[in-house]
Structure 1
Amino acid sequence: MKAFLRKLCSPVLNVFESDEDEYAYRPSHRKILIVLGVLCLVVASVSLFSAIKMAEPAGIIPILVFFLTGLVCEIVGLLGSDRAVARIWKRK
Structure 2
Amino acid sequence: MKKMLTTLFWPILKFFEVGQEPPNYKSSYRLALNVLGALFIFLSGVSAVSAFYSEVTIGAVIPIIVFFLVGLIALVIGSLGTNRAVAKIWGTK
TM over 0.5: yes
Q: Does 1:88 align with 2:89?
A: yes
Q: How many residues align?
A: 91
Residue 72 of structure 1 and its aligned partner are, at CA, apart by 0.2
Q: What residue number does 2:48 align with?
A: 48
Show CA shifts across 1:14-68 (max 9, x none): 010012x341210000000000000001100000001111111210111011000
What's the % identity of the aligned pairs? 44
Runs (5+) with no aligned partner, structure 2? none
Please identify which structure carries the higher helix content: 1
**Structure 1 runs of 4+ off > 4 angstroms?**
none
Runs (5+) with no aligned partner, structure 1? none
TM-score (norm 1): 0.95
Matches for 1:5-84 after TM superposition, within 5 Å: 5-19=5-19, 21-23=20-22, 24-57=24-57, 58-84=59-85
More deviation in 55-64 or 27-36? 55-64
Over aligned residues, Cα RMSD in angstroms? 0.8
